[in-house]
A and B are shown apart, each in its own frame.
Chain A
Amino acid sequence: MRALRRFLNRVINLARRREQDERLREEIEEHIALQATENLRTGLSPVEARRQAMLKFGGVEAMKQDYRAERGLLFIENLLGDLRNAGRTIRRMPGLAAVIIVSLAIGIGVNTTIFSWIQMILFQPLPGVSGASNFLLVEPRTETGGYPGASWLEYRALRTQVPALRDIVAFQVVPFNVERQARLSGRSGNSSQAIIFLLWG
């Protein structure tokens, strides 16, 4: 519970850094002033009294570091500081910054394009199709080179009697027309192509 509260306070303090720095500065100043007054009473000169008070207080910068580490989330504070610094540098040298940003953008763009292409062509040739090399075309040919086609019975026999083939799909060539905005073009395709068109939209 205590740790949670401490963490929440640290997050809140991120937004109140300047105010908190000011508070610490004031506290240190007051502390040293009070100690110096005390030293004056013991008969020291004002300069010596203040010097002794500062010595007694110890290293202010080292203490501030500890204080900041305790107050907030140092990692985020440093990150914000770096971002601010980067912003300032960009504003100071906009030309150089533009060249760097454009080079990075081109580099990232080209890389993304090439790797997407490789991914598409080499690793995933068609969406939904794995192992395109397993596809076979079974087609009866006559001795003279004609395509007599296969009968329904032949198709059924292949389906049931060739266990090496996991599945068989038959297709039939059907002439059909594709019409788009009153422009006609004759096409002869097959019905499975028609289905693929439908699937691909």
Chain B
Amino acid sequence: MKQKADVLQGTLALMVLKTLDVLGPLHGYGIARRIEQISGDLLAVNQGTLYPVLLKLEQEGAIASEWGASENNRRARFYRLTREGRKQLQVETQDWEQTAAIIARFFEVKTEDLP
């Protein structure tokens, strides 16, 4: 159970970084909406799980945050990607693509393909 949560948190962090990279500064709700639109049900039930991930990324220096005004004209915390976060995104994207490619190859292989 815990392991699944860790994996989820890892992918979520990558999605946050990519979202901020594409869309620029966003508040928590904006990020959640965007992830929801693209990933479907990952955040459908627990949008709240995003906030510990945002905090972790901020503590690591990958993103920074400051107060701004939301569409409701209320105070909201806006997150943006830092230079370090952009670097981290590049590295993690490569890692992720590599892992995904390896796993995909494993799934593709059938018994008759093996020598």
Contacts and interface: CB of A to CB of B under 8 A. Distances in A.
B49 A66 contact: yes
A30 B51 contact: no
B108 interface: no
Interface residues of B, number: 25
B7 interface: no
B59 A30 contact: no
A60 B47 CA distance: 10
B59 A70 contact: yes
Nearest to B61: A5
Contacts of B61: 2, 5
B49 A63 contact: yes
Interface stretch (B15-23, B72-80, B95-103): B72-80
A31 B74 CA distance: 11
Nearest to A68: B52
A58 B49 contact: yes
Interface in B25-56: 27-29, 32, 44-49, 51-52, 55-56
Contacts of B44: 56
Contacts of B28: 27, 30-31
B77 A33 contact: no
A29 to B, nearest CB: 9
B90 to A, nearest CB: 15
Contacts of A69: 52
Interface of A: 2, 5-6, 9-10, 23-24, 26-28, 30-31, 33-35, 37, 56-60, 63, 66-67, 69-71
Interface of B: 27-29, 32, 44-49, 51-52, 55-56, 58-61, 70-72, 74-77
